[in-house]
Amino acid sequence: MSIFSKHLPAIHVEHYKYTAESPTEKMPVPDKVYISMVQHIGAPCQPKVEVGDLVKVGQVIGDTDAFVSAPIHSSVSGKVTAIDKSLTMSGVWDLIVTITTDKKQEVLEGLAPPQIDDKDSFIKAVRASGLVGLGGAAFPTHIKFNPKNLDEVDSFIINGAECEPYLTADYRTMMENSELLINGLKNTLKYLKIKRGIIGIESNKAPAINKLRAMVKDNPEIEVMELRSVYPQGGERVLIYETTGREIPIGKLPADIGAIVSNISSVVALQNFIETGMPLVSKKVTVSGNAIRIPKNVEAPIGTPISQLITFCGGYKRTPKKIIMGGPMMGAAVYDDGMTVNKNTSGILTFDEELATLPKETPCISCGRCIKACPMLLMPTLLAKAYDAKDVEQLQKLNVNLCMECGCCSYVCPAKKQLAFTNKLGKRLVMEGGKK
């Protein structure tokens, strides 16, 4: 268990880890991939190819000079057949590069492991790999790994909690790519000169804990830490507290308290690039939910339509009412299965009408369960009142921006109020800075 006797508030959720023991299956190359130029927080990439160009696997097809960015590579070999505008899930315009595949998967000539001698060449390699936070945040990794106060960072924490129900892709990565994971951790510690590495894993993944502990038994600088199996154990602020006992002050970043956090899949993808020169071009995704016929863990080329993954998993066994990209607690609903797998896609969940229909809200009974469940120690009902009144000052006073939208408050609410969503709207109201 964690070394700390005190824990942040958390909740118990049903795990539904139906695919935990399903080895990852690599799906066939689709006829077409649709690769978004918006795959990270920050400035969108601009296409570096034109319609009619022939491309190969690993070739840069999108990039920008903006600092907060990461290059985007072709996941297939084939021909660029379109570059179109499209709306993303968040409602912003995106450029989509459509590549009609030749099914040969020819690799770009000259791809080779990067030359890494020191921190600067390591950070350069991280950017070249196209890596972003693969757990969902999609923040460019080369920026996260290079804070201004790097010399004050003493802990590199790898997030192996995977606390969201249904999702098992990270667990399969720990079991199937453990050598890449440990070597990636060692290289990160070495080149960033960080003294301590921690892999935080929930107690419900005992095989992964045992396997990784055996691999690092002669490396005292690395600890595989067993965490409580509760939600949201994988939240960045929660994970840092549970593994180091440190709290992130409001407005501060993990590096400000001496920590850098990365996802399991991110470290594996980085080490794969270091060893082979192949950038991030595919993603391991859990396909599950009660509307899918055969739940699986699938490795798919980035840009693969969701519908192709569904077909690879036997299709729908009942009509889907809702499709979620990510986990059921923090994921985002997509409006159709024509959307595509992006770098930060961790799961595709499909639910029928019975599971997808939200229960009817009833009046608040002032039970306080939402307050007890909030890992950030917020007061969701007061935040909801402040939002209803469009009271920006009160929202700020109640620290609405600390809300990480984990959904714990909504989950435990007996009145079925969508408190987490209201907090999201409250944060937006504060950002816009005034009453509406």
Listed in sequence order, the residues at least 6 apart from 321 whose beta carbon sits closer than 8 Å to its beta carbon are: 291, 351, 352, 353, 355, 356, 357
Per-residue model confidence (pLDDT) at position 110: 95
Q: Give binding residues for [4Fe-4S] cluster as ranges.
A: 364, 367, 370, 374, 403, 406, 409, 413
Q: Give binding residues as ranges.
A: 364, 367, 370, 374, 403, 406, 409, 413
Which domain-ending residue is among 242, 276, 310? 276
128 & 265 share domain: yes
167 phi and psi angles, rounded to 5 deg = -75, 135
Q: What is the DSSP string of 47-112?
A: ESS-TT-EE-BT-EEEE-S-SS---EE-SS-EEEEEEEEEE-TTS-EEEEEEEEE-S--PBPTT--
234 & 376 share domain: no
The whole-angstrom distance between residue 111's C-alpha and the CA centroid of its chain comes to: 27
Per-residue model confidence (pLDDT) at position 137: 74
Per-residue model confidence (pLDDT) at position 74: 98
Per-residue model confidence (pLDDT) at position 403: 95
User: Which structural domain, as residue segments, surrounds residue 270?
Assistant: 119-276
Q: What is the DSSP string of 400-427?
A: GGG-----HHHHH-TT---HHHHHHHHH
Is 62 within the bounds of a domain? no
pTM comes to 0.93
Which domain-ending residue is among 239, 255, 276? 276
253 & 132 share domain: yes
Buried b (16+ CB within 10 A) or exposed e, 274-298: beebbbbbbbbbbbbbbbbeebbbb
Is 105 within the bounds of a domain? no
Is 233 within the bounds of a domain? yes
154 & 272 share domain: yes
Is 59 within the bounds of a domain? no
140 & 272 share domain: yes
**Under 8 Å between Cβ of 302 and 283:** yes
Place of tokens 């929930």: 202
Is 110 within the bounds of a domain? no
Which domain-ending residue is among 276, 295, 312? 276
Per-residue model confidence (pLDDT) at position 434: 59
Q: How far apart are CA 261 and CA 269, in angstroms?
A: 15
Listed in sequence order, the residues at least 6 apart from 161 whose beta carbon sits closer than 8 Å to its beta carbon are: 200, 201, 202, 227, 233, 234, 239
Q: How far apart are CA 14 and CA 354, in angstroms?
A: 17
* CATH code of the domain containing 211: 3.40.50.11540
Number of separate domains in the chain: 2
Is 154 within the bounds of a domain? yes
243 & 125 share domain: yes
Q: pLDDT digit of tens for each residue in the chain (436 aa)?
A: 445 558 899 999 999 999 999 999 999 999 999 999 998 888 899 999 999 999 999 999 999 999 999 999 999 999 999 999 987 766 778 899 999 999 999 999 999 999 999 999 999 999 999 999 887 778 999 999 999 999 999 999 999 999 999 999 999 999 999 999 999 999 999 999 999 999 999 999 999 999 999 999 999 999 999 999 999 999 999 999 999 999 998 889 999 999 999 999 999 999 999 999 999 999 999 999 999 999 999 999 999 999 999 999 999 999 999 999 999 999 999 988 999 999 999 999 999 999 999 899 999 999 999 999 999 999 999 999 999 999 999 999 999 999 999 999 999 999 999 999 999 999 999 988 754 4
Is 260 within the bounds of a domain? yes
130 & 266 share domain: yes
**Partners of 57 in beta bridges:** 107
Crossing angle of helices 178-192 and 264-276, rounded to 10°: 80
Is 60 within the bounds of a domain? no
